[in-house]
Amino acid sequence: MIDRVEPTAQVRGITVPRFFYGTAWKEDATEALAYAALGAGFRAIDTANQRKHYYEEGVGRAITRRLGEGLPRDALFVQSKFTYRDGQDHRLPYDPGAPIAQQVRQSFDSSLAHLGVARLDSLVLHGPSRRDGLGPEDREAWQAMEALVDVGGAQLIGISNATAAQIEALVGLARIPPAFVQNRCYAERGWDAAVRAVCERHGIMYQGFSLLTANRQVLAHAGVRELAERHGKTTAQIVFRFALQLGMFPLTGTSDPAHMAQDLAAFDFELSRAELSILESAGRR
């Protein structure tokens, strides 16, 4: 665990903001909310070329507006994802009959067009092709993502919705190892302890999402509420601060501009080791 948390970190030589704004499930409000998040101070935006759950073009319009207002492109970290056919609806960003490597490239090119950028700072495989282990499709997709790194199309690559065993398998086959793992983070599973342990062993940064929605029992926990009162913070800020001190790169998807500012204020205080232990135990059944 770390006490002092800086707003950015070096990941494989790339400066990465520690707190991401997630854009899933926002539909027609995507542009306005992404624009507001950038205005609030978020400098890392997470999206996906998966129209079923994301509206990547709306994110792109928000980015274009902020860049036009003077936000330097180098100050912004843009992360998107390649999603297999099973995770998509009928609005596909690639030819479903094409080889996987070609699908990755078509999805990537589509993401650049949607987002109005010349590169992705991070490209994430939006979950393995199967529940257990990795399949040939995963190897092919990963090699296609590595090729994008080779030509400067993506600076970093990662995987989401993966188990500890799948991450170990990916590290074993990768020429360019994953920089990130992005998972839904459940307190009742030790805040995804098994996956975080693999990440730590291999120098992979862990991105945690649904930190609030997957852990409502933590927000309601008497000890966590007492911590919030003691620090003059919200219970959400306490959870985000805990995640930061645990070494995570947390995501928030709040639709409330006031909460955007509050979430970023998680950098403004520290939790003691004893206070962190309250959060560690709060989610246990």
pTM above 0.85, yes or no: yes
Task: Summarize the confidence of residues 119-129 as an average pLDDT.
Answer: 98
Q: Give the confidence band of 4 by pLDDT, cuts at 50, 70, 90.
A: confident
Q: Which residues sit opposite 157 in a β-bridge? A: 123
Task: Summarize the confidence of residues 193-215 as an average pLDDT.
Answer: 98
Closest CA to 49 of 119, 102, 124: 124
Task: Summarize the confidence of residues 219-226 as an average pLDDT.
Answer: 97
Residues 63-116: pLDDT tens digits?
999 999 999 999 999 999 999 999 999 999 999 999 999 999 999 999 999 999
Please give the C-alpha separations between residue 97 and each of 100, 145, 235, in angstroms, as whole numbers: 9, 19, 47
Q: What angle do CA 182, 235, 255 make, to 5 degrees?
A: 60
Residue that has been written with the tokens 């945690």 in this structure: 208
- CATH C-level class of 9-213+248-268: alpha beta
* Mean model confidence pLDDT for the chain: 97
Residue-range domain boundaries for the chain: 9-213+248-268
